[in-house]
């Protein structure tokens, strides 16, 4: 099934869909390396990221964030 995103460009610059397995991989990545998000955000241009990496969900919010807890529970099938 294919869905089209309709984003409010005044609120979001970019949006894309990810499978549950891709989100689960991102959860594992942030658990293994909590600083991953900050390292990527440190390079404002994102020049060190290849196009294929830019198309992947590389990280989720940190463990202390409510969004992380919701994402992790969804991945684990709790919600």
56 — pLDDT class (breaks 50, 70, 90): low
* CA separation for the pair 69, 51 (Å, rounded): 29
pTM of the model: 0.63
What number of other Cβ atoms are within 10 A of residue 1's Cβ?
Answer: 2
Map out the domains of the chain as residue ranges. Answer: 20-75
74 — pLDDT class (breaks 50, 70, 90): very high
């Amino acid at each position: 099934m294919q869905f089209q995103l309709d984003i409010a460009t005044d609120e979001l610059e970019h949006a894309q869909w990810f499978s549950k397995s891709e989100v689960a991989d991102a959860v594992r990545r942030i658990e293994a390396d909590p600083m991953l998000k900050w390292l990527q955000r440190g390079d404002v241009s994102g020049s060190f990221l290849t196009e294929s990496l830019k198309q992947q969900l590389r990280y989720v919010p940190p463990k202390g964030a409510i969004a992380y807890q919701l994402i992790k529970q969804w991945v684990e099938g709790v919600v």
